[in-house]
A = this chain, B = another copy of it.
Amino acid sequence: MPEDSNPIPNWQRQDLPPTLSQRFEFESYPATRRFLDGVAKLAEDAGHYPNLSFGKTYVSVTLDADGKKIGPDIVTLAHKIDALVTKTE
């Protein structure tokens, strides 16, 4: 893909340092908690730990690549995190 394209359009791409981030909103704390548990499972499976900020009804996820360019493994993780939303709502 082109150097400056966004590999996953609904996420926010940042370049210095390279990160992909996304904010998710939920109807309730239990839905937030289910999503967080799902992200934790994905992170453990991938061996890659996002930075997360969350409150009662929102979660902000930031994926970095340890200073390297965002590669396909990170994009795959972002897609898997997106896919959790329909399962947790």
Contacts and interface: CB of A to CB of B under 8 A. Distances in A.
Given A33-B40, A40-B33, A52 B54 contact: yes
Interface residues of A, number: 12
Interface string A50-85: 111111100000000000000000000000000000
Contacts of A24: none
A29 B49 contact: yes
Nearest to A29: B49
Contacts of A56: 49
B55 A54 contact: no
Contacts of A54: 51-53
A56 B43 CA distance: 10
Interface of A: 29, 33, 40, 44, 49-56
